[in-house]
């Protein structure tokens, strides 16, 4: 008996009957397959090549309870205390942003904080936004083909667990040519101490559609009325998002991780791109004790293009692992990957960028860069490209840099009257600016700019351990 997987399996048995979509056969088959794989492979260890630099022990040794936490927080959300949660959520809003917004607290759909331009599940401007549980109960055929089709078959234990266990999340369906004027915002709030949430999202972008998606993870201290001064709650989120990008569709996707420094997040995002489509994926990671992102894109149709940008700013003992896989499966596709990180104190980052060019994927153009700014002697980065090229007419490039602030630039700024702290701050902000400038949603960009500027100033460092 495996002591790390056992509690999850037991909980699964206990709650299998309460999961949505019990009468949907194809879904039940997927759940069983997920469960079987999880039972077989368990949680990854550092012996797995893909997990060499990241240990998930901090997650697996703890007892997280999915069901109770979820039930409690649903109760909490309805209770009189929810004014506090409301206030906390208001403070976390992306200022000025109009969006179709779905909010989940500890994995449970919170209808009172969600809104869409029309009723959930009813199309408006060609876009249908609905909670997964609702779709599974009412219209499972909407997602039957796509659901589970983008994720890799040989997934690691977390993904398998999500396949078995997930109960809710967001479904976004875009009709052909649909171009909603407002972004879709998926907000996942971790709240209850030791709570575990396993969101599952599916986005299906029809041919020639165009959409902006924001998937956000935040923390709010649970039960504020009961223990006001408690440290941030330890929470675990195991999320999974599948994105089907139709022919010539354009999907602009933002993954924004600003959870507390006591939150764990294992996150999978998988996209498949049809001919002539464009997918931009921008990952901004500022929060979390341990964050692992698996981002996989399959360029399945000719002339598809993918931009994958990432930005992480870490401090304390944060550990963030970005594992990207760019699969070039068709001719004339291009991909550009660009990850930038600022590491302070004892933080640690891993960047693993895999590019695979399948036989026949001629005229592939793939570029990958990872630039890191190490602001402390105790911070650490492991950056590793992995290129597998099975076609001959291909342009692939990769490069990684690890450095401190540029002494020449610092002196230049000081010679113009800026003190050392201000000059350093200006350079740190400058380092992240070029990635921030790629954010096409102004309100999001401004919110992140403000957040980062505050984090990159000396004030924050002195108030931080």
Partner 1 sequence: MLTIKNLHVSVDGKPILNGIDLNINAGEVHAIMGPNGSGKSTLANVLAGREHYQVTAGSVAYKGLDLLDMEPEIRAREGVFLAFQYPVEIPGVTNLYLLKASVNAIRKHNHVDELNAVEFLKLIKEKVALVEMHEDFLYRPINEGFSGGEKKRNEILQMLLLQPTLSILDETDSGLDIDALKIVAKGVNTVRGDARAMLVVTHYQRLLDYIVPDVVHVLHNGAIVRSGDKSLALELEREGYGWIEARAAAQP
Residues that bind partner 1 (CB under 8 A): 406-409, 411-420, 422-423, 426-427, 429-434
Question: What is each CA distance from 56 to 43, 48, 61, 264, 319, in whole angstroms?
Answer: 8, 12, 9, 9, 11
Residue 214's nearest CA partner among 156, 254, 261, 271 is 254
| Residue number, 393 or 419, with CB nearest to partner 1 | 419
| Cβ pair 188, 158 in contact under 8 A | no
CB of 415 to partner 1, least distance (A): 5
CB of 294 to partner 1, least distance (A): 29
CB of 365 to partner 1, least distance (A): 23
Residue 436's nearest CA partner among 277, 286, 295, 241 is 286
At 408, is the secondary structure helix, strand, or coil? helix
| Residue number, 91 or 415, with CB nearest to partner 1 | 415
| Residue number, 101 or 428, with CB nearest to partner 1 | 428
Distance, CA of 173 to CA of 193 (rounded, Å): 33
Q: Which two tokens stand for residue 72?
A: 């409690």
CB of 423 to partner 1, least distance (A): 8
| Cβ pair 183, 99 in contact under 8 A | yes
Tell me the three-class secondary structure of 98-127, residue by residue: CCEEEEEECCEECHHHCECCCCCCCCECCE
| Residue number, 27 or 436, with CB nearest to partner 1 | 436
| Residue number, 120 or 413, with CB nearest to partner 1 | 413
CB of 411 to partner 1, least distance (A): 6
| Cβ pair 92, 259 in contact under 8 A | no
CB of 403 to partner 1, least distance (A): 13
| Residue number, 393 or 420, with CB nearest to partner 1 | 420
Distance, CA of 76 to CA of 272 (rounded, Å): 38
């Amino acid at each position: 008996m495996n002591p790390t997987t056992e509690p999850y399996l037991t909980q699964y048995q206990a709650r299998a009957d309460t999961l949505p979509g019990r009468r949907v056969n194809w879904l039940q088959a997927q759940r069983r397959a997920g469960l079987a794989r999880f039972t077989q492979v368990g949680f990854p260890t550092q012996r797995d090549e893909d997990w060499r630099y990241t240990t998930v022990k901090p997650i697996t040794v703890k007892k997280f309870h999915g069901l109770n936490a979820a039930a409690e927080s649903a109760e909490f959300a309805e209770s009189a205390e929810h004014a506090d949660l409301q206030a906390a959520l208001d403070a976390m809003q992306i200022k000025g942003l109009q969006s179709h917004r779905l909010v989940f607290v500890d994995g449970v759909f919170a209808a009172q904080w969600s809104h869409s331009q029309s009723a959930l599940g009813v199309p408006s401007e060609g876009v249908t936004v609905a909670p997964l549980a609702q779709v599974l109960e009412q219209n499972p055929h909407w997602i039957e083909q796509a659901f589970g089709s983008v994720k890799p078959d040989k997934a690691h234990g977390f993904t398998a667990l999500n396949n078995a266990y997930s109960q809710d999340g967001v479904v976004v369906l875009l009709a052909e040519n649909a171009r909603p004027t407002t972004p879709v915002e998926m907000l996942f709030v971790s709240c209850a101490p030791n709570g575990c949430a396993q969101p599952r999202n599916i986005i299906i972008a029809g041919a020639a559609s165009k959409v902006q998606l924001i998937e956000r993870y935040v923390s709010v201290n649970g039960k504020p009325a009961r223990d006001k001064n408690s440290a941030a709650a330890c929470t675990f989120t195991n999320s999974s998002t599948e994105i089907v990008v139709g022919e010539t569709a354009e999907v602009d996707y933002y993954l924004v991780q600003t959870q507390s420094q006591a939150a764990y997040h294992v996150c999978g995002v998988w996209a498949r791109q049809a001919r002539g489509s464009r997918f931009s994926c921008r990952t901004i990671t500022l929060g979390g004790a341990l964050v692992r992102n698996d981002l996989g894109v399959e360029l399945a149709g000719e002339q598809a293009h993918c931009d994958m940008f990432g930005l992480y700013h870490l401090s304390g003992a944060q550990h963030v692992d970005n594992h990207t896989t760019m699969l070039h499966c068709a001719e004339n596709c291009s991909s550009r990957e660009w990850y930038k990180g600022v590491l302070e104190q004892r933080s640690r980052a891993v960047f693993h960028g895999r590019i695979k060019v399948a036989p026949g994927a001629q005229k592939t153009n793939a570029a990958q860069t990872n630039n890191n700014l190490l602001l402390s002697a105790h911070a650490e980065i492991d950056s590793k490209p992995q290129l597998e090229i099975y076609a001959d007419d291909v342009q692939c490039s990769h490069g990684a840099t690890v450095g401190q602030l540029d002494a020449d630039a610092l002196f230049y700024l000081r010679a113009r009257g800026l003190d050392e702290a201000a000059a350093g701050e200006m350079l740190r902000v400058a380092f992240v600016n070029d990635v921030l400038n790629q954010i096409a949603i102004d309100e999001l960009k401004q919110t992140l700019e403000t957040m980062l500027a505050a984090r990159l100033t000396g004030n924050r460092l002195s108030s931080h351990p």
